[in-house]
Structure 1
Amino acid sequence: MTNRYLDILQQYWGFERFRPLQEDIVNSAGEGHDTLALMPTGGGKSITFQVPALAHEGLCLVVTPLIALMKDQVENLKKNGIKAAAIHSGLTYREIKVTFDNAMFGGTKFLYVSPERLSTELFLDKLPDLNLNLIAVDEAHCISQWGYDFRPSYLKIAAIREIVPNIPILALTATATPRVVEDIMERLNFKDGQLFQKDFARPNLAYVVRHSEDKEQQLLKILKSVPGSAVVYVRNRKKTKEYASFLQQNQISADYFHAGLIQNTKNERQDSWKKNQTRVIVATNAFGMGIDKPDVRLVVHMDAPDSLEAYFQEAGRAGRDGKKAFAVLLWSDNDRAKLNKQVKSSFPEPERIKRIYDALGNFFQLPVGSGFQMAFDFDMGKFCKAFSFNILQVFNSLKILQRAGYLTFTEELDIPSKVMFLMEGNDLYKFQVANAPLDPFIKALLRSYTGLFTEYASINEDRLAKITNTDKDTIYQALIKLSKAGAVHYIPRRRTPLITFTQTREELKFVKLPNEVYADRKQRYLEQVESVIAYGTSDHICRSRFLLNYFGQKKTGNCGMCDVCLSRKKTGLDDETFEKIEVQIREILINQPMYPEILSDQLKYDHQKIMQVLQWLEDHEIIGETDKGELEWLK
């Protein structure tokens, strides 16, 4: 079958061969094994399920929580001539039903679904008739309560396996600790689980922590010393614009990006950066998903991230072409306090979360016992004003209520306008004759878009206005008239956060926040934050080694190019010698303090070399002196 897979790879993607590990994963999934693949960001994860699915008859069901990525992948597959569709909270019931019907009868090869759709009556009703050949689970760490982004809706995947028991699962994630790996395989009911794990080491990527109280000037200094394309990550939207403006004022080509921008603006800024017309993109963590730009030379984090999982993923967007690149974390004395404050704001008091849940029901005028699978446009500013809530507390409470399984919250979903024809053939012809003023708009639709009689097509009113030599409002009014007349179904563009109730509205006294949703998660979050603080404040462990140990790769050497390794090199010792001396010093001093001269006599190395290592360890406060003048191990 390998030749068939290579043929598909070449036919649709133009590649002559698979990347390392891709072929093993493709073969495993294609042979019907439950498979878990750990591949760093940019490792070509999507190909590992798309190739085996195309090689077999039937449909691949893809579960992913990232709606923007879902839409991108569907569009990319369609451009390659592969039939694909997506179902998520932003669609109307009619759109979802048409998509399911096409999946059953229309030759759809890939059906992307958001996890909350898995428990709906319509999905469960259609599932047995979908003729599946593979279930792909993207962002698989979301199924683990030990993962950094646990989502209860992912637990529904195990239940659908009971309905389609013989369909293999391919679970994919970029980052997972050993504990999370075990949990994923258990929760997905792996039968003969195959695990493929790419070495997380990035030998071309230098990790650096720069301690600075003036981060703006430090950023300028770094950008002037490292040429090439760069991403600068910041914590909030306001800062994206401020930093981009600061860089522009200092003659550095820059732009900003966050989830709140309209889709056209996002596309334009991404394209300009990908084509190297813009050198630096300043962004929140909304930037980067699904963006494959191999020649990024630098990723800078202005603010400390919440977890090393998130940091590793974002930093890993640098140097995918295998050439030297840098991942820099700017750290100040204030970062520790900010991260600890973040723990409190990320987990509002349980009573406050329950009050916000109750207020949501009142805001949407939902009686207790109703609301199951109902979706609502959500104006957070209006809601906070109406009930005097803090916007950050509301945001984080919604995330916790989502984990508890009461609702799903989709931030600022940009849903383009869509059209599907309800009339066809002779009926449509008669309608065109009888409604001559609307005829040019019908013809413009049919000339501009395909598949309008079988599925909803995303349309652009500006483009239609140019074709018909009119304006956007004229197009809008014409489409509304066509929709009211029953010729088409027109869904105007919506750009709004969305709340979908995944359970009926509960009475306040019955709202529960189980330990795995609140107390355990808070403790886990605290541990993640502590790991980030340890990374930011440590100056004696190789950065790459620190990160790889966190992800369970214990037997790793020093990278030789991070800031810690470079500071060691200044001693004049090679990495291996330095490390051997350091290990022996630690073994002795961790048991008992000792005078330097006695310590030196016990080590089988040149006295000068021992003194250089001791000096470095003292400078980095790893060893210190007792009142008696003996050396002791501090860390």
Structure 2
Amino acid sequence: MSSPLEILKKHWNYTQFRKPQEEIITAVIKGDNCVVLLPTGGGKSICYQIPALLLDGVCIVVSPLIALIKDQVESLLEKNIKAIALTSQLSQDEIIIAFDNLQFGGYKFLYLSPEKLQSKLIQDKIKQINVSFFAIDEAHCISEWGHDFRPSYLKLNILKELQPNANFIALTATATQKVLEDITKNLEIENATIFKKSFQRNNLTYQVIYTENYYEKLLQIVGRITDSIIIYTNNRKQTKEVNNYLIRHNYKSTYYHGGLSNQEKNNAYSSWISDKTPIMVATNAFGMGIDKSNVRAVVHINVPNSLENYIQEAGRAGRDGKESYSLILTNEATLFDAENRFKLNTPSIKYVKQIYSNLNQFYKISIGEQPIEFFNFSLQEFCLVYNLKLLQTYNAIKILERENIILLDENYSKKSTLKFLVSNNQLFNYIDKHPKHNNLIKLILRSYGGIFEHYTVINEFNLSKKLGIKKNEIIKELKELHKIGIVNYTCENSDSRLSFLVIREDDYTINRISKNIEQQNNLKFEKLQASISFIRNKKVCRNIMLLAYFNEIITESCGKCDVCKSKTYNSKIAQPLIDQIIKILKDQELSSQQLATILKCNEKQLLNSLKLLLEKNKIAITSQNKFKLNF
């Protein structure tokens, strides 16, 4: 029998174990129930993958993230380790074949979502296979106090009924003490051994930088850092804008968000991981399974939704142990906007009821009916039909999914593709003779580059909006062009698939989950406010404050964060500059950039002087991010 170290060397790029992975692996092999809290990048997956390869039977891994499940299975298959994922795309016959393979084919891993586990067929099949142990990934989802609570996780105790002799390992990267207690209680794990690694990262410096011009500050940051960088933005549009801005200034950058096709995501990731484009601009959709050692800085130009999210994202910097930075770019307008956006985009119970009603109308579901099929679903079209706000509606749909009212399969997402089969000259000759296609063809040429050379993902809905006609008319025109050989067009008329998990009972359906909705909305707002408080803090060492949030108490300041450094700044030395600032602001309101231009002083000294004046309430910031005197 191979040793854990031999397995590690054979399949992974490690040469030795890191603490406490060795202790966790030993405990799992011994048959202990374990709850594991390791910071992001701490090597959680090998804590169950190595024991699974050494023990008889199949390790069943429960994960809430379909994309992460696919990544894990692909990674195992690349190592010639047999693994299967049960996704919503598998038919009943395919599920039966998968379990036959698990029972007789030497497979070591079965990955599935907690929702999939509710299937009676799957439950019966799990009873029939030899299970080595259960691994519960993202275990904080089981706690109502976790930052990503999912009620479906509360039903995972069914696993004890299906396989009474199998043990558990529950894993998470972020959990407070309350969440850890909920994990052991709700999973009914008896005599669990808790493995908890400190969140303290001595090589990581936390800094909050106040600036009115994010783009200019980004150029300064990327100009100083030669290794890899991740820049987290607030939304998909901003991701693309920041990326284009950096490229225009001759930096090698790429971008990543949830709206890209799988191919586009893979291309962006490959380009970044290989250092072809060392700067990655992304939404928080980028991060699952990311393990790159030379990320030297993680920059946030948004307010993280929670400190749990922030510590995970920031922790992607400096995994090689070298000095690295977590930088938050902010200003008062951004902080105000974060709270405002949360309130605008968080669905109330009334709004969730409205969306549920609209969905039933959209698919013509009768009261008392529960259809069993999947429906093609386009969020953009749905919002257009009912005149709904896109983000608020998406959040309402995700609440319905979280509460097991519907299932939204966003990974289904097959995109339409298009390629011109004729030359540029032939195309314009065709337009001259057939002017009815003129507007559409010219719009496509303006909207998509390289469409003569390769197949390009297109969005018919966006094209229809720009031309002011229905999406079906766009599809009809493209099919005509395909038929006569002008283009090669593959039409996929949905962004995702949706199914209904309960019978339609209108308000009663939502009333049953209204308490959960309200509690989760309040909890998410509290977590956002904790992030804002962390950013606004100017007195407590950022390392001390962040660790305290996770019940880890230290007393020694880091000496490196912006708060610690500002305390070493001597206000007496700054007094001449402070006097100059007050004199200039007597007659006008100015931004920090304008002050720097007038005073021709060191930027750091200016910002520290402005901080001192703000703390003493001598100056204030206007809604235009300018400074003014308070007297």
After superposition, residues 141-160 of structure 1 pair within 5 angstroms as 141-160=140-159
Q: Is the 8 A contact 2:261 2:415 kept in 1?
A: no
1:339 is displaced (CA, Å) by 2.1
Q: Which residue of 2 aligns with 1:107?
A: 106
1:16 is displaced (CA, Å) by 2.8
Q: Which residue of 2 aligns with 1:135?
A: 134
Cα gap change, 1:175/1:238 in structure 2, threshold over 3 Å: closer, same or farther?
same
- Partners of 1:173 and 1:383 lie apart in 2 by 35
Q: Which residue of 2 aligns with 1:93?
A: 92
Cα gap change, 1:32/1:202 in structure 2, threshold over 3 Å: closer, same or farther?
same
1:570 is displaced (CA, Å) by 3.4
TM-score, structure 1 length as denominator?
Answer: 0.76
Cα gap change, 1:283/1:617 in structure 2, threshold over 3 Å: closer, same or farther?
closer
400-409 or 27-36: which moved more? 400-409
1:200 is displaced (CA, Å) by 0.4
Cα gap change, 1:372/1:345 in structure 2, threshold over 3 Å: closer, same or farther?
farther
Cα gap change, 1:121/1:217 in structure 2, threshold over 3 Å: closer, same or farther?
same
Q: Which residue of 2 aligns with 1:402?
A: 401
Q: Which residue of 2 aligns with 1:287?
A: 286
- Partners of 1:349 and 1:620 lie apart in 2 by 40
Q: Which residue of 2 aligns with 1:251?
A: 250
After superposition, residues 528-543 of structure 1 pair within 5 angstroms as 528-543=527-542
User: Unaligned stretches of 5+ in structure 1?
Assistant: 418-461, 463-472, 474-491, 573-614, 626-635
- Partners of 1:226 and 1:513 lie apart in 2 by 52
User: Unaligned stretches of 5+ in structure 2?
Assistant: 417-454, 456-478, 480-490, 572-607, 619-631
- Partners of 1:236 and 1:357 lie apart in 2 by 25
After superposition, residues 82-481 of structure 1 pair within 5 angstroms as 82-371=81-370, 374-414=373-413
Q: Is the 8 A contact 1:240 1:284 kept in 2?
A: yes
- Partners of 1:27 and 1:500 lie apart in 2 by 42
1:105 is displaced (CA, Å) by 2.4
Equivalent position SS for 2:404: coil
- Partners of 1:372 and 1:365 lie apart in 2 by 10
- Partners of 1:41 and 1:19 lie apart in 2 by 14
- Partners of 1:515 and 1:325 lie apart in 2 by 44
Equivalent position SS for 1:517: helix
Q: Which residue of 2 aligns with 1:483?
A: none
1:526 is displaced (CA, Å) by 1.8
Cα gap change, 1:366/1:104 in structure 2, threshold over 3 Å: closer, same or farther?
farther
- Partners of 1:273 and 1:618 lie apart in 2 by 37
1:556 is displaced (CA, Å) by 4.3
Amino acid at match of 2:246: L
Cα gap change, 1:45/1:336 in structure 2, threshold over 3 Å: closer, same or farther?
same
Amino acid at match of 2:299: V
Equivalent position SS for 2:558: coil
Cα gap change, 1:178/1:96 in structure 2, threshold over 3 Å: closer, same or farther?
same
After superposition, residues 1-150 of structure 1 pair within 5 angstroms as 4-150=3-149
Amino acid at match of 1:289: M
Q: Is the 8 A contact 1:233 1:300 kept in 2?
A: yes
Cα gap change, 1:144/1:563 in structure 2, threshold over 3 Å: closer, same or farther?
same
Q: Which residue of 2 aligns with 1:459?
A: none
Equivalent position SS for 1:408: strand
Q: Is the 8 A contact 1:141 1:149 kept in 2?
A: yes
Q: Is the 8 A contact 1:295 1:318 kept in 2?
A: yes
Equivalent position SS for 1:276: coil
1:172 is displaced (CA, Å) by 0.7
- Partners of 1:373 and 1:322 lie apart in 2 by 52
Amino acid at match of 1:534: S
- Partners of 2:120 and 2:167 lie apart in 1 by 23
Q: Is the 8 A contact 1:89 1:500 kept in 2?
A: no
Cα gap change, 1:150/1:78 in structure 2, threshold over 3 Å: closer, same or farther?
same
Q: Which residue of 1 aligns with 2:605?
A: none
Q: Is the 8 A contact 1:37 1:195 kept in 2?
A: yes
Residue 619 (structure 2) pairs with residue 619 (structure 1): no
1:342 is displaced (CA, Å) by 3.1
Q: Provide, for residues 454-489 of structure 1, a one-character-per-residue CA deviation record: whole Å limited to 9, x for no partner.
A: xxxxxxxx9xxxxxxxxxx9xxxxxxxxxxxxxxxx
- Partners of 2:494 and 2:14 lie apart in 1 by 37
Root mean square deviation, CA, Å: 2.7
Q: Is the 8 A contact 2:349 2:518 kept in 1?
A: no
1:347 is displaced (CA, Å) by 2.8
Amino acid at match of 2:250: Q
91-100 or 311-320: which moved more? 91-100
After superposition, residues 585-624 of structure 1 pair within 5 angstroms as 619=612
- Partners of 2:227 and 2:34 lie apart in 1 by 38
- Partners of 1:494 and 1:556 lie apart in 2 by 58
1:366 is displaced (CA, Å) by 2.8
152-161 or 493-502: which moved more? 493-502
TM-score, structure 2 length as denominator?
Answer: 0.76
- Partners of 1:279 and 1:4 lie apart in 2 by 37
- Partners of 2:48 and 2:493 lie apart in 1 by 31
Q: Is the 8 A contact 1:345 1:396 kept in 2?
A: no
Cα gap change, 1:618/1:85 in structure 2, threshold over 3 Å: closer, same or farther?
closer
Q: Which residue of 2 aligns with 1:512?
A: 511
1:414 is displaced (CA, Å) by 4.5
Q: Is the 8 A contact 1:240 1:257 kept in 2?
A: yes
Cα gap change, 1:372/1:176 in structure 2, threshold over 3 Å: closer, same or farther?
farther
- Partners of 2:345 and 2:403 lie apart in 1 by 15
- Partners of 1:215 and 1:143 lie apart in 2 by 37
- Partners of 1:34 and 1:296 lie apart in 2 by 34
Q: Is the 8 A contact 1:403 1:517 kept in 2?
A: no
* Matched residue count: 511
- Partners of 1:236 and 1:347 lie apart in 2 by 15
1:160 is displaced (CA, Å) by 2.2
- Partners of 1:373 and 1:542 lie apart in 2 by 55
Equivalent position SS for 1:69: helix
Cα gap change, 1:31/1:501 in structure 2, threshold over 3 Å: closer, same or farther?
farther
